[in-house]
Amino acid sequence: MKEGLARARELILSHRRFVILEHEKPDGDCVGSSLALALALEKWGKQALIVSDDPHPVIYDFLPGQEHFTRTGYLGLADFHADVAIFLDCGEPERCGRALPFAQKAKYWVNIDHHVSNTKFGDAVLVDPSAAATGEILWYLFGELGVNIDARIAVCLYVAVLTDTGSFRYENTTPRALRMAADLIEKGARPQEISELVYEAKPLSSVMLLGEALQTLEIHAGGKIACVSVTREMMKKVAATSEDTEGIITYPRSIQGVMVAVQFREADEGVHVSFRTRRAVDASRIAETFGGGGHPRAAGALIKGKTLPEVKTLVLEEVRRVLEQNPDLVVKA
Ligand code: 5GP
Ligand code: MN
């Protein structure tokens, strides 16, 4: 981290035009981090543009700094210029999907992330899997670089740590994460207001989609595996957007005795599989078997060229195998 920090500092201070990349289907950590970074760069008089193929989920519309955000479709690649590309929350460059060509126009790459599966790509690498969120690494970076965290930046970073810790419930809820939250509250983030905006202002379609998905709930391996599916047809039926799938997997995971929760979702490019694990099963390693990645307890993969039922058979077989025959994937708690 020290070396990455020095290099990132040098790259940031000596350049003017920055492009910020998020992973596909950006989540609260991604959105909060990229907006906080854009606002910080703005304070230094730098030009910062966040480029994503996907929109930001509407629940984050209240966050400041959105004027720095643009989608790939509104931007011509030919006349796009940037000196430095900063990847946030992306374990590998390809995670930013169709925004990658914009990063490729920059001379230098900075990689800021907390995924264990991060490939450590780029010219400056700030990867810390012990960080609760990518936003936590930014909070640290801002401290080191002497950025004045104002209320606007504080709200963005608070959303990053709030969402990635599952409202300070997951095992990444470390003293550091809570110290960060306390610091951000002192700097102007309002926890009650933010929680209400993030968790209690959902579009109706998301709750309707949850209802559809829960009807597909299946229990396997004597209660250790629970899975749900989200099909294109269901999405159409309730007029759901892809962000409405967020959070569905917390329901199968919440069932007593379930060690691995799996969600299958029909996406444009294939079937996206999400994994959530408990009791020390390594989700990231299961996802890696299918070309994906993530964290020890939350990971995902995109499987191309197969139907949802085919993917389901394949994945459930692997999860069963992991649970029954591969004790080395079960890390001691
Ligand atoms: P989710 O299941 O909510 O989509 O993602 C859970 C975690 O796994 C996130 O940290 C996310 O970055 C990671 N993840 C999800 N899908 C993929 C994927 O297709 N490839 C990789 N490398 N990571 C993924
Ligand atoms: Mn994250």
What per-residue confidence (pLDDT) applies to 332? 43
Q: What confidence category does residue 2 fall into, taking pLDDT thresholds of 50, 70 and 90?
A: confident
Distance 197 CA to ligand 2 centre (A): 19
User: Helix H segments across the chain?
Assistant: 2-13, 28-43, 100-103, 134-145, 151-164, 175-186, 191-199, 204-214, 232-237, 250-253, 283-289, 308-325
Q: Which of 25, 54, 112, 115 has most ligand 1 atoms within 8 Å of CB, for mutation?
A: 115
What is the pLDDT averaged over residues 16-35?
Answer: 97
User: 169-201, pLDDT tens digit by residue?
Assistant: 999 999 999 999 999 999 999 999 999 999 999
User: 83-102, pLDDT tens digit by residue?
Assistant: 999 999 999 999 999 999 99
- Per-domain residue ranges for the chain? 2-199, 204-324
Residue 331 has pLDDT above 70, yes or no: no
Q: Does any ligand 1 atom lie closer than 6 A to the CB of residue 26?
A: no
Task: Give Rg (Cα) of the chain.
Answer: 20
What per-residue confidence (pLDDT) applies to 133? 98
Residue 40 has pLDDT above 70, yes or no: yes
Distance 28 CA to ligand 2 centre (A): 8
One fold for both 2-199 and 204-324? no
Distance 325 CA to ligand 2 centre (A): 30
- Calculate helix-pair angle for 28-43, 134-145, nearest 10 degrees: 20
What is the pLDDT averaged over residues 243-259?
Answer: 96
Residue 207 has pLDDT above 80, yes or no: yes
Residue 30 has pLDDT above 60, yes or no: yes
Q: Which of 24, 53, 54, 95 has most ligand 1 atoms within 8 Å of CB, for mutation?
A: 95
Residues surrounding ion ligand 2 at CB below 5 Å = 29, 89, 134, 164
User: 262-310, pLDDT tens digit by residue?
Assistant: 999 999 999 999 999 987 799 999 999 999 999 999 999 999 999 999 9
Q: Does any ligand 1 atom lie closer than 6 A to the CB of residue 295?
A: yes
CATH-assigned architecture of domain 2-199: Alpha-Beta Complex (3.90)
- 0.75 exceeded by the pTM? yes
Residue 231 and residue 251: Cα distance in Å, rounded? Answer: 17
265, β-bridge pairs: 230, 272
The highest-level CATH class for domain 204-324 is alpha beta
Do 301 and 287 form a contact (C-beta atoms < 8 A)? yes
Residue 333 has pLDDT above 50, yes or no: no
Paired tokens of 190? 């309002």
